[in-house]
Amino acid sequence: MRADFPSSQGLPRFKYVEGLRALACLTVVFNHAIAESYPSAYHVSIPENLSLLRLWFAFGHHAVTAFIVISGFCLGLPAASQQFKREIGWGTFMVRRIARILPPYYAALIISLIIAWAFFPSPVGIHYDFSAHPRSLDILSHVLILQNVVGTGQINYSLWSIATELHIYAGFPLLVKVLSKRGGWFLALLGVLISFALSFLLLETRLSRAYVHLAGAFIVGVGASWVVSGDHNHNFTNILRKISKPVAMGTMTLVVAWTIILPRSLYKPFILPHDFLVMIGIGAVLIWCASISGFGRKLLELKPLVWLGERSYSLYLLHVPIQAALLKVAINSLDLTHTERLVFSLTVGFGILLGLTWVFHRFVEIPAMALSRGVAQHRLVRT
């Protein structure tokens, strides 16, 4: 019998994964709060006494890379627990992914368009000014989930990654089939290298916005799921478990040091080696935390982080237009300086954003999750 993916019943729930999701999402939200408060398009720079913000600002893109690795890990766990031997039906899998992802996405798109048209008929001096006046083509590209190539940065500039992630998901059933064969992991690693090579070749084209090398990050996440799941006792996986801690600490330290020493290295073409290190580091963290119960894992499993991680998709979808709308109201009412704008966004604005995230998750995302499960069960019964 073909299924969406192998049953996850009986698999351990790794709460630290939600903690990692929360940290990645907070990084993106903080990143965009900085971008809105100090809009470079208006030639506003971060002041020298807050120069550390530039370092944090640099990590926003890497948080998306972390999201993709985590997605590969979570989707891979059920399949990896059965050694990728159970076939995944492409149609059922994609219908379930679409039912899970697109209803909240389209709801957030509508909210974003309403905010853009209602709050930003004219510029107010923030970064979102340049996203608030989409063309018909931009709207169409978002409806068709092509905003990672056309209309990138318009309406809601965080939505590009949703298109890239959904496109990557379309290849997951094929990846599982490849991994079920002898030599499958060699082909998967080759796929990682090919994805980075394609990104390099596409750097000066419109297709560079799709960041196709993130498919490689997804494969790394699936690989991490194989290392931590199942009863296999391969020498190779045992070695990976043992070296996961130094690899995680080493790669993430290298990324931070590289960014501090050469801040411009985050731009093309050096974004590729940066992302390569980040995906290896996050994959290693996922493996390492699965085998420990110490302070690091307990920190990631703190209830506030787990709570936020479970709602990270809703927060990610909403934060850009909500941040921008709240900031506009605050600027018009209080005449804030740029640094005061950042303080407002990270305090009052963030509190309101969390409240709206809870509402969106409760009334939009949870029903989408139920729809996804219902669709899968219906198709299984038909099968």
pLDDT at 271: 81
- Mean of pLDDT values over 211-239: 87
Is residue 185 within 8 Å of 179, Cβ to Cβ? Answer: yes
Tokens for 262?
């050469």
Radius of gyration from C-alpha coordinates of the chain: 21
pLDDT at 177: 94
Q: Is the pLDDT of residue 170 over 70?
A: yes
Q: Is the pLDDT of residue 230 over 80?
A: no
3-state SS, residue 330:
helix
pLDDT at 372: 87
Core vs surface per residue 239-250: b (16+ CB within 10 A) or e: ebbeebbebbee
Q: pTM of the entire structure?
A: 0.93
Asked if the peptide bond before residue 39 counts as cis, ω within 30 degrees of 0, the response is no
Residue found under tokens 């159970």 = 86
Q: Which of 144-148, 246-250, 254-258 has the lowest mean pLDDT?
A: 254-258
The confidence band for 5, taking pLDDT boundaries of 50, 70 and 90, is: very low
pLDDT at 264: 60
More confident residue, 288 or 264: 288
pLDDT at 295: 84
3-state SS, residue 246:
helix
**Distances 53 to 31, 46, 224 between C-alpha atoms, Å:** 9, 7, 31
Beta bridge partner(s), residue 88:
3
The confidence band for 231, taking pLDDT boundaries of 50, 70 and 90, is: low
Crossing angle, helix 271-290 and helix 235-261, to 10 degrees? 130
Q: Is the pLDDT of residue 6 over 60?
A: no
Q: What is the pLDDT of residues 81-139, one digit of tens each?
A: 888 888 889 998 999 999 999 999 999 999 999 999 999 999 999 999 999 999 999 99
Q: What are phi and psi of 3, to 5 degrees?
A: -140, 170
More confident residue, 347 or 40: 347
Is residue 309 within 8 Å of 20, Cβ to Cβ? Answer: yes
The confidence band for 346, taking pLDDT boundaries of 50, 70 and 90, is: very high
pLDDT at 263: 65
Average pLDDT, the chain: 90
Tokens for 360?
């969106």
**Rounded to whole angstroms, how far apart are CA atoms 333 and 326?**
11
- Mean of pLDDT values over 338-360: 97
More confident residue, 231 or 326: 326
One-letter amino acid at 60 equals G
Q: Is the pLDDT of residue 265 over 90?
A: no
**Rounded to whole angstroms, how far apart are CA atoms 94 and 275?**
27
Q: Which of 24-38, 160-174, 338-352, 362-376 has the lowest mean pLDDT?
A: 362-376
Q: Is the pLDDT of residue 382 over 60?
A: no
pLDDT at 337: 95
- Mean of pLDDT values over 45-62: 81
3-state SS, residue 371:
helix
pLDDT at 3: 35
- Mean of pLDDT values over 256-260: 81
Q: Is the pLDDT of residue 249 over 50?
A: yes
The confidence band for 355, taking pLDDT boundaries of 50, 70 and 90, is: very high
pLDDT at 217: 97
